[in-house]
């Protein structure tokens, strides 16, 4: 794709300088947005983990009792409808259990230090995949960026530094291209970076409209009012569990009676 434009003109030098500046600026902006996105995702994931541990597991317990009730009913008074209901509730209980005790529930919340944030910003500026020169470079950058994301999420500053050092060893390896070729490359990089910024914006909007973000927003609102939404939810579901368990025990007593 390079090598088509070979003329060397003064204005092109000027244009190249301007485009380089533009690319630098957009790299900074992109790094900021990237940081914002990863922070928001982390925040959501952490909240989701807390929600699943505190409330989700209780929903699993509630569904378990409901499943047991319908199974007991099906046993006491068997019918195709009762059996189908029992199977349906058992499947629901299984799904809820999986969700509540799944991987997401292990996520813990913690605040990233300013050092970690600025380190990630540097990495994002330097090795962002959308800034790649060619396909091979893109692949390499993608790999580095994925590692950087993981390191940031894990709060591992040393790993981030290592990734940055390692990347810089092989960075700007392409030398000796002409001004025209460089200009085209930079213009393409700018365009890609802009696309990426737009994509990040879209993703942020999607995330903010999502259910978990809405729940988190309500919890934050509650906290400002001096309440604790998750604690209240917990209490409410525990109440539902108590009622359901009582119902189960009442039916079980019925079963225990000799027919």
Partner 1 sequence: MSEESPLQVTPGRSLSLLKARSGLIARGLRDAAELVTQNVPLLSTRRLAEQGDAAAQYELGEAYYKGHGVPRDYAEARVWFRKAADQFHPYAISDLGDMYERGEGVPADQTEASHFYLRAADIAIADGGDWDPDWVLGAVWQGAQYGHADAQFFLGCCYASGKSMLQQDHTEAVKWYRKAADQGHVEAQFNLGWAHENGKGVIQDYGEAAKWWRKAAEQGYSQAQYNLGWADRNGRGVAQDHGEAGIWYCKAAQQGHADAQFELGRKYYGGEGVPQDHTEAVKWYRKAADQGHANAQHNLGVAYYYGKGVAQDFREAAEWVRRAAEQGNETAMFALGYLCQAGQGLPQDHAKAAGWFRQAAERGNTPAQASLGAIYRDGQGVPQDYVQAHMWFNLSASVSSGDEQTRLSAERDGACQRV
- Reading phi first (left if > 0) and then psi (alpha if -120 to 50, else beta), residue 176 is in left
Smallest distance, partner 1 to C-beta of residue 87, A: 17
* Angle at CA of residue 134, ends 131 and 140, nearest 5°: 70
- Kindly state whether residue 183 participates in binding partner 1, applying the rule CB under 8 A: no
Query: Least separation, in Å, of the C-beta of 18 and partner 1?
Result: 25
Q: Which of 19, 26, 31, 59 binds partner 1 (CB under 8 A)?
A: 59
Q: Cα(83)–Cα(12) distance, rounded to whole angstroms?
A: 78
Burial profile 83-100: b = 16 or more Cβ within 10 angstroms, e = fewer:
eebbeebbeebeebbeeb
Nearer to partner 1, 2 or 142 (CB): 142
Question: How far apart are alpha carbons 190 and 196 in whole angstroms?
Answer: 10
Nearer to partner 1, 95 or 254 (CB): 95
* Residue 184 binding partner 1, by CB under 8 A: no
CB atoms within 10 A of CB 253: 9
Minimum distance between the CB of residue 228 and partner 1, rounded to whole angstroms?
11
Given the rule CB under 8 A, which residues bind partner 1? 34, 37-38, 41-42, 44-45, 48, 51-52, 55-56, 59, 95-96, 99-100, 103-104, 107, 129-130, 142, 145-146, 149-150, 153, 192, 195-196, 198-200, 202-203, 207, 210-215, 218, 229, 232-233, 235-239
């Amino acid at each position: 794709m390079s090598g088509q434009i070979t003329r060397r003109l003064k204005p092109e030098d000027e244009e190249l300088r301007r485009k380089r500046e533009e690319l630098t600026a957009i790299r900074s902006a992109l790094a900021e947005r990237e940081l914002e996105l990863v922070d928001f995702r982390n925040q959501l994931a952490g909240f989701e983990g807390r929600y699943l541990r505190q409330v989700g597991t209780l929903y699993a317990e509630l569904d378990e009792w409901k499943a047991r009730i319908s199974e007991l009913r099906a046993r006491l008074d068997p019918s195709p409808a009762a059996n189908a209901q029992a199977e349906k509730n058992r499947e629901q209980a299984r799904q809820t259990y999986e969700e509540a005790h799944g991987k997401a529930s292990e996520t813990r919340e913690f605040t990233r230090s300013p050092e970690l944030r600025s380190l990630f910003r540097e990495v994002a500026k330097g090795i962002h995949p959308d800034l790649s020169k060619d396909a091979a470079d893109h692949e390499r950058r993608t790999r580095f960026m994925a590692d950087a994301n993981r390191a940031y999420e894990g709060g591992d500053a040393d790993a981030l530094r290592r990734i940055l050092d390692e990347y810089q060893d092989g960075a700007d390896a392409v030398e000796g291209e002409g001004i025209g070729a460089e200009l085209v490359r930079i213009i393409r990089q700018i365009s890609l970076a802009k696309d990426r910024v737009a994509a990040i914006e879209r993703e942020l909007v999607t995330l903010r409209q999502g259910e978990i973000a809405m729940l988190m927003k309500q919890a934050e609102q509650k906290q400002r009012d001096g309440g604790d939404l998750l604690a209240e939810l917990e209490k409410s579901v525990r109440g539902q569990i108590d009622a359901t368990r009582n119902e189960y025990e009442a039916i079980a007593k019925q079963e225990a009676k000799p027919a």
